[in-house]
Structure 1
Amino acid sequence: MSNNPLGRKKSILRFRPRGGLGRKGPKPIETSPGEFRERVISEQAPQNEVFESRHREEIEQAEAKAAQLVGVQEEGKELSPRRGDETTTASLGEARACDSIKEPEKPYEPVKIQEEPPKGLVEKIKMVAGSLIDKVQNLIGTRPRVHKEIIVNVQPLETRVALLEDGRLEELAIERATDERLVGSIYKGV
């Protein structure tokens, strides 16, 4: 016979339930529709009430936290107010009023950076000429304002510095901590 595995017929894989193929769900309770309707109507425990009774303590603690109250229980005595209490709604209103009172945010003001003093005669002349040109342009009012931002991203393996002018990327510098170009098995580039 040949040892070629391609010529063999593959075994069929199919889903087989844990309990066997002939197993069915639980046997239905044989009741007439009228009896079933009466039983459903007579039950007074909808799912929400079951959930609330099971998690009542957690719900009250969450409500107390939202109302900035201390929800402490000692020996079966509940100190936090129950749902529907007048004090709860009043304290919730007070808490929301306190949250809405905040200090207005100050508008953004760029940080002023002091320039280095000029070292040589040529640099002093350039600085004086530049400041004179700036004053004239401010008087005329034709000088366009440029908003510059510097964004720095530091990670253990590399540092990235980006210069944005009016929201546009003007310069991007990447400095690597090591000479390795691979991180894991990924080539990071230059």
Structure 2
Amino acid sequence: MEDGKVQQARLLVANLASEMVFRTTNIPLATYPAAIKAITPLIGEGKFGEAKVELQAALNTLVVTIDKIMLDTNMASYIIKSHPPEIRHRLAALPMGSITISAVTQGELLYGLARKGHPATLAKLIREFLFRVETLPWEEQAATVYGDLRASCMSVGITLGALDMMIAAHAIAANTILVTHDKAFSLVPDGILTIEDWMNEV
């Protein structure tokens, strides 16, 4: 970490983490009603063992998903500075494996650090933040979404800052919820970008 290679260090200690990951469990609607229908007469006949087997077969088809969250640059800054503290508490309530930032946000954080002359305290806070949070690389899928999103926005007269547009596209491509206090993201049309503003909970 002292060399600034926080993402490499993060991977090395990932297996040492001790945390509870909360998952959303979904029962496929195509199979569950049929299973209930099948076990109802078995229960009525007192055949609880057979009913249990039928129900277990349906439960074995459960689909487990984890909601991924992408922090925008302003939300990441609130967390790094612990101001307001409620934002950091909100983050602490979530499994760290579900929290991400875009490589664009990492660049913005490091740019802000450089502009301030790399003060030691802030550098340490940013380094620790980047160590704990997964940075998603800007890849081809994000670039493809960016092109379509920018064209779609411009066709209806919507303009976002260049980096905001990249972060929005990255969140859409990664299928994440974008957590931001920047109202500009609410301009993205058609509801294709899912947004949360934790500042509304402060």
Quick check: TM above 0.5?
no
Determine which structure has more spread, i.e. the larger CA radius of gyration.
1
Tell me the TM-score normalized by structure 2.
0.24
Tell me the TM-score normalized by structure 1.
0.25
